[in-house]
Amino acid sequence: MALESRELLAEAIKYFEKVMKVHEKVDAVEFVEADRYKAIFKIYLADGRLLVTYIADVYVLTAADVREILSEYGDIDCIVVVSNWDHYTSDAKNVAKSMGIGVYRLKEFMKAINYNGRMFLDTGTANSSE
């Protein structure tokens, strides 16, 4: 299972929470759960939106990974791969977008939360293929 190929380090979880808390569009960050491979956060935005966010350290997030995540966590709004070396495929981005879910690297997510609707989902560019 690709989603369990790289352990999500505690430092990555802390870093994600830290950068979210200082983002000007974020009102509050709520840690929901974590295990060795993922963490779930609720990000409360200043415009009233709530983004349930799945974070993981997956070298290449694929469409199959997106489907697997959504089969277990159907209420998420976005998936963020947190390592500087992580990527996602265009198929992963498109499958997620078709379900109204955003897929991002961390820097892209920091930008995406400034937008609503289609711009939120369209932010970021896949740089890997399946």
Question: Cα–Cα distance between 65 and 72 in angstroms, integer?
Answer: 11
> 69-82 burial string, b = 16+ CB within 10 Å, else e?
bbeebeebbbbbbb
- The pLDDT-based confidence of 3 (bands split at 50, 70, 90) is low
Q: Nearest-CA neighbor of 42 among 57, 32, 33?
A: 32
pLDDT at 41 over 70: yes
- Of 70, 51, 65, nearest in space to 123 by CA: 51
Please give the structure tokens belonging to residue 90. Answer: 């265009």
Over the chain, what is the mean pLDDT? 91
Q: List 54's β-bridge partners, or say none.
A: 40, 79
Indicate the helix (H) or strand (E) that contains 102: strand 102-105
Claim: this prediction has a pTM higher than 0.85: yes
Tens of pLDDT, residues 59-87: 889 999 999 999 999 999 999 998 777 88
Q: Is the pLDDT of residue 92 over 90?
A: yes
91, 75 contact by CB (below 8 A): no
* pLDDT (tens digit per residue) in 110-126: 999 999 999 999 999 88
